Amino acid sequence: MTLTLPGTSVSILGRAALLRGRSGAGKSDLALRLVDGGAVLVGDEAVVAERVGEQVVVSPMPSIRGLMEVRGFGVVALPTVARQPLRLIVDLVTGAEPERLPEPEWESVLGVAVRRMVLNPMLASAAARVRMALAYGS
């Protein structure tokens, strides 16, 4: 079974993060900062998710594979990677203040628990927080 997940996904160290939010929330902007820091694009706008054993893997949508919209510049072609295990969902909320020591949150995707966090994408440390959550999160 597959599922289309709206959002932009990048992979860091072989682990994918899905950035979600309303139009204009900063998904592609944060993804661009992550890619600039060494992440690889999985997909912009939406990805295909499938359950493989006890994990969810995400891949680019075939029709827009390798394309990313850079607001104010246009659509650019970028290298992509497919079949990355989804390890983090990041809900982008402008103006959100991060909790100091939040309890871990999880969301079920195709019956698999995936770590979830809320993040203000405009924070200077937003990209570093995503990298850290992927590196040290479950």
CATH number for the domain that contains residue 112? 3.40.50.300
Question: What is the value of pTM for the model shown?
Answer: 0.93
Domains held by the chain: number: 1
Q: What is the pLDDT of residue 138?
A: 58
Q: Checking DSSP bridges between strand 112-119 and strand 84-92, what pairing results, if any?
A: parallel
Which range of residues forms the domain containing residue 28? 2-136
| Average pLDDT of adjacent 10-residue blocks, the chain of 138 residues | 95 96 89 95 96 97 91 90 97 82 92 95 94 86
- For the CA atoms of 4, 119, 73, 23, the dihedral, rounded to the nearest 10 degrees, stands at 50
